[in-house]
Amino acid sequence: MSQTTRIVQVRDLKIGGGNTVAVQSMCATHTRDIAATVEQINMLHAAGADLIRVAVDNKLDVEALKEIRKLVNPKARLVVDLQENYPMAELVAPFVDKMRYNPGHLHHLNKDVPVKEKVRWLVEIAKKHGNALRIGVNCGSVAPEFLERYPGDHVRAIVESAAWHCSLMDEFGFKNFVVSLKDSDPDKVIICNEEFSKRRPDVPIHLGVTEAGLPPDGIIKTRIAFEKLLSQGIGDTLRVSLTVPNPEKHLEISTGRKIVDDVANGRFISVPKNFGKGMNVISCPSCSRVENHHFVDLAQKVKAMTEYAKEKKITIAVMGCRVNGPGETDDADLGLWCGPSTVTLKQKTETLGSYTYDTILPVLKAKLDEVIQAQAQTA
């Protein structure tokens, strides 16, 4: 637990300042499905979630959120994920305790308004309604201006983006915020958070390995980062982002609690030297942005299908939504961007075609064999 960060108040929850590390999760249901979302929020709250995040993308989601707030356990602390639609903040703020915005998504709407003014507006909304904020910088959607400013240095672009947004918070006189710096590579998560912590030791940090993937590998990747950071006193709240079916979302909470407890009691899990050196299947966590929940089944099938090539140093990204899909599949050797009814197959930034969920697997295997053959020829 960090002893140097200031305290951020999320209703009755204190984050930072040496308080117990808060563990959170995110609903995998569509927010407009009120009954399913209420059921999942109550399930996660019963499992011990300190914070529960829902996504709001449009006014139909907002109307659903109003009802959800009335129906869930009143002790459940809700966080809204603004995604690419930051103007929704004004509508959802009265019904949640915390809002998360992604600096890399602020340029999508109202392009004539400077990012600084958009952040100022978000801060005023948060002040008015007593909300905490999270500045959530994600490797798959870093703000273009920072990528241009630091070409070829993704880690620095992430850290500098987070630091700049913190300076805006300082300028606007707002202290009730946390920051997250996420990547699907645990080593980069460690570096980003270590560097940011040096820059801003006062700011509470939310830890996460984004697109960690399926258990058990997703848990191991997360542990690699969390053990290293928590043992240094870096990290005040966290989420274990796993690709699991809806009924198993509580695993994010129990796994997070176990990691925190293990680190606090000096129980560290050694990682084999060859872990992460071969086949790397990354997949985003099951969440409300997923456009077809068969994506979880597909990720599991991809993991099983690639077992024959587990020694090959190849990254396959299986992404379930439009938010992180483009960036993460661009960086992978092979990528599956899963839409409502079709799966787009990519090789780095090149789109190879679209296929149904039932037909994509053999096509992926054929392409994987080509990649393996190409690697052998250049070895």
Q: What pLDDT, in 10s, does the model give residues 73-116?
A: 999 999 999 988 999 999 999 999 999 999 999 998 999 999 99
Question: Which element (helix H / strand E) includes 180?
Answer: strand 177-182
Q: What is the pLDDT of residues 278-302, one digit of tens each?
A: 888 888 776 666 667 788 889 889 9
Q: What pLDDT score does 339 carry? A: 86
The reply to whether 280-378 shares the fold of 8-264 is no
Q: What pLDDT score does 266 carry? A: 86
Q: What pLDDT score does 211 carry? A: 78
| Three-state secondary-structure class, residue 160 | helix
Cβ neighbours around 135 below 10 Å, total: 25
Q: What pLDDT score does 1 carry? A: 42
Q: What pLDDT score does 168 carry? A: 98
Domain 280-378 has CATH 1.10.10.10: no
Is residue 222 a contact partner of residue 254, using CB atoms and an 8 Å limit? no
Question: Which element (helix H / strand E) includes 281?
Answer: strand 280-283
| Three-state secondary-structure class, residue 237 | strand
Measure the CA dihedral 105/110/115/116, to 10°. Answer: -140
Q: What pLDDT score does 272 carry? A: 58
- Quote the CATH superfamily of domain 8-264: Dihydropteroate synthase-like (3.20.20.20)
Q: What pLDDT score does 271 carry? A: 64
Q: What pLDDT score does 323 carry? A: 64
Q: What pLDDT score does 148 carry? A: 95
pTM of the predicted structure, to 2 decimals: 0.82
Domain ranges of the chain: 8-264, 280-378
Low-confidence ranges of the chain (pLDDT < 70): 1-3, 270-276, 286-291, 322-328
